[in-house]
Chain A
């Protein structure tokens, strides 16, 4: 079936009333899950799986895909409003998104995030359609060495993204890497730095650490000012992105979409790498790089586009090869199989209605997300006006629940409180937490794949260079390293002072 015919066919099915309804439910639930952390898409999908038993396969998949998309988007809302990333991939959005909110430009940030996500999601869908076969095989080529080189690119960028002291950023990245080693060694299974505490055997949980480092510490810092009125430092300027915003965001969105799509295709990666790269690229090509971190739209539009292009990319290996690229995709795979559909090369021919209706519904899902979230922007912006005394207890509750619910463990709340205090002290002493969290996310993946590569290559380091894709990324990483270190020798950066001194 020709792509266009197939799409028409798919739209025909997707526009059926009950499919539209379930798509909407999925998107709504997904957004809710994205906004409320601790319950990631995987957990929610698992909970809702039984619901899908009684309905038709295509409808079920439409709803589940809607949830996935919605969750991806919802995570950015909290990043912008309260500096808490709903999930790992939204960490980058916090950098400029939150600052924009403080300057009264939350409307612009939220609106542009929604629009960038929509554009990225839609455009990358076309990529999915026409490039699926090529990319499917590309995904299979990725083995441990390729991951090492790719993640190395990410790690090099980590200290480049911040706005403070480069040296301190490197140190925080190291700290993040070290924290990532706590738990169990992924290659030999040995206990590492967990002091025998069973709750630490899988490492410090990402969600509690994020809740503490980003959410709780920010609240402590805000509380210091007795007269702290609220997050808004300036009056609310506008509810919608301005014409200038549109102009500034065009190229970031385009670049972000391309980046996000490619990274999403690769199995096992976290879209955070795509958003990091997008932010770094924008910062590098920008005429005013020093403004990054103070709240400019490019820092939101690009990474958000990258974020949302990712899922489309991730659907490629899933639908055409039956290979899930992350936990959520694995669940979608399970749900497809429960309904008797085996994704793979034969999916398009054996169950065209499934394939094409899923594609069509992804587009509709994107549209619904936009329709759902744009009106909400006004509401969210008003939320920022709530007096802080009432606002922050709710946020604290939200952090507590988010930390607790991941593993139903009190220990995670302790982790959250600990990192809340650590984060607060870090602010006082002029250290940024972004490099720490990014290294914390990327470090374990890097180490695991590095050591696995050496097992695969029987101990030879040549594997990193001999494999073409790996070599390319390695070269890229080297270039990035040189580019980011060079300024340190060229001119002295103004000594960074803590915002709190």
Chain B
């Protein structure tokens, strides 16, 4: 009898507890939007892990400009270059998760885990949104004998190590892309590292290497100037800026890879703030000023919300884990 009464009172306590939690919880839900509406109350710092004047920096600055207009408070860009982004990634992750420090990251964060000596774990960040996606563009000199991708690959296959592909740096996304292409098509390329996408593209124009796999943004001006020709692009769909260029998929090669850039925040930033920023970013990406900038510079326009971005990161990591060790790239 006493035992029943005990369990009864425990059950009652539990019910009470459950109701209280529900009550407080619902109060939070009601209260939460009110708290988020007050954000931002002061200026926001946007950390860019690369030097001022670079591609990512420019995109970040335009975005910051537009976010500022939408949020009503200054968004200040701070450059923290170093270690291929490592310094900045670490700084963002270590910042106070109150929504007043955000930043930009890119595929290099995931790549570094497998190709560098130290890396910043993306799990210490909270994705806000994906803001850009640039696929690899396989480009050759305009007077090259290869008019189609098939011709280029056939030659490369028949002459292992003879075809030189320039990339933007050892272990960087375009190097990995070229290596992956080689692995998917069974071709052995010689990879020549340069100090960035621009020099890599110029090297093809000068005839010093046979091809490159950097982004459309970097080969764009040379293509327009008649010096380069893009044979294929590593995206799911054709690039609106180069509608005549087929995708690797169309050619029967399952090769899609490219660089993405995302707006991020430290791990425990309140979900409501992340959601608000996400909406602000979506709005900014639709602004004609932003679209025009991206288009003029050949940068791929893309948007993914926070949840999808998180999924992308996880998937990318799985992919990289499988791909990179098999490519024979030197690891520290």
User: Given A186-B193, A202-B82, A342 and B117 touching (CB < 8 A)?
Assistant: no
B-side contacts of A321, CB under 8 Å: 205, 225, 227
B-side contacts of A338, CB under 8 Å: 292-293, 296-297
B-side contacts of A456, CB under 8 Å: 164, 192, 208-209
Question: Which of A189, A334, A343, A448 is in CB contact (< 8 Å) with B332?
Answer: A189
- A338 to B80: give the CA distance in the assembly, Å: 25
B-side contacts of A267, CB under 8 Å: 199, 202
Do B194 and A452 touch (CB < 8 A)?
Answer: yes
Do A409 and B116 touch (CB < 8 A)?
Answer: no
User: Given A188-B170, A189-B332, A140 and B205 touching (CB < 8 A)?
Assistant: yes
A163: Cβ under 8 A from any B Cβ: no
A-side contacts of B97, CB under 8 Å: none
> Which single residue of chain A is at the shortest CB-CB distance from B116?
A189
> Which single residue of chain B is at the shortest CB-CB distance from A267?
B202
Shortest Cβ distance from residue A112 to the other chain B in the assembled complex, whole angstroms: 32
- A322 to B161: give the CA distance in the assembly, Å: 30
A236: Cβ under 8 A from any B Cβ: no
B-side contacts of A455, CB under 8 Å: 164, 190-193
Q: How many A-B residue pairs have CB under 8 A?
A: 148
B275: Cβ under 8 A from any A Cβ: no
Shortest Cβ distance from residue B316 to the other chain A in the assembled complex, whole angstroms: 19
B65: Cβ under 8 A from any A Cβ: yes
User: Given A338-B296, A409-B87, A190 and B332 touching (CB < 8 A)?
Assistant: yes
Q: What mask results when residues 187 to 202 of chain B are scored 1 for a CB within 8 Å of chain A, else 0?
A: 0001111110011001
Question: Which of B79, B190, B195, B224 is in CB contact (< 8 Å) with A408?
Answer: B79
Do A408 and B192 touch (CB < 8 A)?
Answer: no
- Chain B CB within 10 A, most for which of A140, A189, A407, A455: A189
B182: Cβ under 8 A from any A Cβ: no
Question: Which of A141, A190, A198 is in CB contact (< 8 Å) with B87?
Answer: A198
- A456 to B163: give the CA distance in the assembly, Å: 10
Do B198 and A342 touch (CB < 8 A)?
Answer: no
B291: Cβ under 8 A from any A Cβ: no
A-side contacts of B239, CB under 8 Å: none
B-side contacts of A53, CB under 8 Å: 289
A45: Cβ under 8 A from any B Cβ: yes
- A246 to B83: give the CA distance in the assembly, Å: 48
B93: Cβ under 8 A from any A Cβ: no
User: Given A142-B206, A201-B82, A409-B87, A333 and B221 touching (CB < 8 A)?
Assistant: yes
B226: Cβ under 8 A from any A Cβ: yes
Q: Identify the stretch in B51-59, B124-132, B318-326 within 8 Å (CB) of chain A at 4 or more residues.
A: B51-59
A-side contacts of B265, CB under 8 Å: none
The dominant DSSP class at the B interface is mixed
- A322 to B297: give the CA distance in the assembly, Å: 13
Do A189 and B171 touch (CB < 8 A)?
Answer: yes
Shortest Cβ distance from residue B297 to the other chain A in the assembled complex, whole angstroms: 6
Shortest Cβ distance from residue A320 to the other chain B in the assembled complex, whole angstroms: 9
Q: Identify the stretch in A95-103, A323-331, A374-382, A471-479 within 8 Å (CB) of chain B at 4 or more residues.
A: A323-331
B118: Cβ under 8 A from any A Cβ: yes
- A452 to B166: give the CA distance in the assembly, Å: 10
Do A334 and B297 touch (CB < 8 A)?
Answer: yes
Query: Considering the complex, which residues of chain A in the window 79-106 have a beta carbon less than 8 Å from any beta carbon of chain B?
Result: none
- A333 to B298: give the CA distance in the assembly, Å: 12
B169: Cβ under 8 A from any A Cβ: yes
> Which single residue of chain A is at the shortest CB-CB distance from B222?
A322
Do A50 and B61 touch (CB < 8 A)?
Answer: yes
B-side contacts of A47, CB under 8 Å: 52, 61
Do A196 and B193 touch (CB < 8 A)?
Answer: no
Do B226 and A407 touch (CB < 8 A)?
Answer: no
Do B61 and A141 touch (CB < 8 A)?
Answer: no
Shortest Cβ distance from residue A201 to the other chain B in the assembled complex, whole angstroms: 4
Query: Considering the complex, which residues of chain B in the window 65-83 have a beta carbon less than 8 Å from any beta carbon of chain A?
Result: 65, 78-83
Do B81 and A407 touch (CB < 8 A)?
Answer: yes
- A373 to B330: give the CA distance in the assembly, Å: 52
B62: Cβ under 8 A from any A Cβ: yes
Query: Considering the complex, which residues of chain A in the window 28-82 have a beta carbon less than 8 Å from any beta carbon of chain B?
Result: 42-43, 45-47, 49-50, 53
Do B58 and A46 touch (CB < 8 A)?
Answer: yes
B-side contacts of A43, CB under 8 Å: 51-53, 79
Query: Considering the complex, which residues of chain A in the window 286-335 have a beta carbon less than 8 Å from any beta carbon of chain B?
Result: 321-324, 327-328, 330-331, 333-334
Shortest Cβ distance from residue B331 to the other chain A in the assembled complex, whole angstroms: 8
User: Given A191-B332, A323-B205, A342-B225, A45 and B53 touching (CB < 8 A)?
Assistant: yes
Leading 6 A-B pairs by shortest Cβ distance: A344-B225, A189-B170, A201-B83, A42-B53, A43-B52, A46-B53
Extra pairs beyond A186-B195, A337-B297, A407-B87 (19, CB < 8 Å): A43-B52, A46-B58, A49-B61, A140-B207, A143-B203, A188-B170, A198-B82, A198-B87, A323-B222, A327-B53, A334-B58, A337-B221, A340-B296, A342-B224, A343-B221, A346-B225, A409-B82, A455-B193, A458-B161
User: Can you give 11 contacting A-B residue pairs, CB < 8 Å?
Assistant: A46-B58, A50-B62, A186-B193, A189-B332, A201-B83, A201-B87, A267-B202, A342-B224, A344-B226, A345-B225, A458-B161
